[in-house]
Amino acid sequence: MSQQNAASRKRAIALHAVIVPLALIWVFPIWMMVVFATRPDSAIFSPKVLLTPGNRFWENFNLLQDDLNFTRTLFVSVVVAVVYTVLSMILTSMAGWALARYKFHGRIAVVGIILGTMTLPYFVVVIPQFILVARDFGLSNTWVALIVPPLFNSLGVLFMRQAFSMMPAELFDAARIDGVSEWKIFLHVGLPLARPMLAALAIILFLASWNNYLWPLLIANDTSMMTAPVALGSLFGLVDVSWGGIMVGAVLMTAPMLAVFVFLQRFFMAGITAGAVK
């Protein structure tokens, strides 16, 4: 038994010896981003590497605010990401439920079409989508244009279809025998059982919306409707650029993503590994 413990300890030490340096390599750029956010531009471009934070965070933030009204862009990004995540989770859950629990003609074809959409590059559909939304519907620089067109998420539909497919059919049959409506079975039986998968899907959808750059860049050219990634990108190429302000913006954009993952990581790991063992 002691030999097994010693072997397990050696494997753990070897594993940590590999993982810790890799983790430090991943964390180092994030740390330097935080350091640069608290330093003047002269320190950012100094040949001397500075590893400790300074005291210019709020000065850099004020410069960024003067250039972009960055608090407004953060507000737009938060609203778009939260509303998009909630609506997309509702739609993908309902679509996944229908594909998993109901048998109808053409179901296999629908799944095949959804799989096919995942193979299409986004650049193939973004121009027709832009023409439809901006020219035909006249919805440029609106909340609807920012949120609604990207709502369909093929990965989310297939993810929830798999989640509902793993649930025992007898459970839902028993609820039907008791006279429970299909809508209540979905809301009060299916969704609670899929809570870990929903948490994982929420993280994926939130990050996808939060980091989305191309579509908000095309559909919202009004400064009052710019999202944070588009606003930060607009600073590059200017003659007088506050690089410390850009680093502050990058820190403020990274913080919500880390917070969402930290608070939901337990559910995220449970949802991702739910299908590993049946």
219, 150 contact by CB (below 8 A)? no
40: pLDDT strictly greater than 50: yes
Average the pLDDT over 136-145 and give the result.
Answer: 91
Q: Which residue has the higher pLDDT, 267 or 130?
A: 130
Model pLDDT, residue 274: 54
Residue at 99 is within a domain: yes
Q: How far is 20 from 17, CA to CA, in rounded Å?
A: 6
Note whether 116 and 195 are same-domain residues: yes
pLDDT level of residue 189 (50, 70, 90 thresholds): confident
Average the pLDDT over 145-149 and give the result.
Answer: 93
Note whether 150 and 213 are same-domain residues: yes
Model pLDDT, residue 277: 45
C-alpha dist (Å) from residue 278 to 22, 126, 195: 32, 39, 17
Model pLDDT, residue 268: 61
Residue at 278 is within a domain: no
According to DSSP, residue 50 is labeled P
According to DSSP, residue 51 is labeled -
Global pTM reads 0.84
C-alpha dist (Å) from residue 68 to 33, 231, 247: 19, 7, 14
pLDDT tens digits for range 215-254: 999 998 888 899 999 988 888 766 677 788 889 999 999 8
Domain end marker among 16, 35, 60: 60
Residue type, 82: V
Note whether 213 and 126 are same-domain residues: yes
Q: How far is 206 from 70, CA to CA, in rounded Å?
A: 20
Place of tokens 């320190």: 43
Note whether 55 and 106 are same-domain residues: no
pLDDT tens digits for range 43-91: 888 788 788 888 889 998 998 888 888 999 999 999 999 999 999 999 9
Note whether 32 and 167 are same-domain residues: no
According to DSSP, residue 274 is labeled T
Tell me which of 162-166, 234-238, 256-260 is least confident.
Answer: 234-238
Residue 107: domain span = 70-235
217, 165 contact by CB (below 8 A)? no
Model pLDDT, residue 239: 63
Place of tokens 């413990």: 5
pLDDT level of residue 276 (50, 70, 90 thresholds): very low
Note whether 23 and 131 are same-domain residues: no
Q: What CATH number has the domain bearing residue 176?
A: 1.10.3720.10
Note whether 33 and 74 are same-domain residues: no
Residue at 163 is within a domain: yes
Q: What is the 3 state secondary structure string of 191-226?
A: HHHCHHHHHHHHHHHHHHHHCCCHHHHHHCCCHHHC
Residue at 94 is within a domain: yes
Q: Which residue has the higher pLDDT, 267 or 103?
A: 103
Note whether 33 and 164 are same-domain residues: no
Domain count, the chain: 2
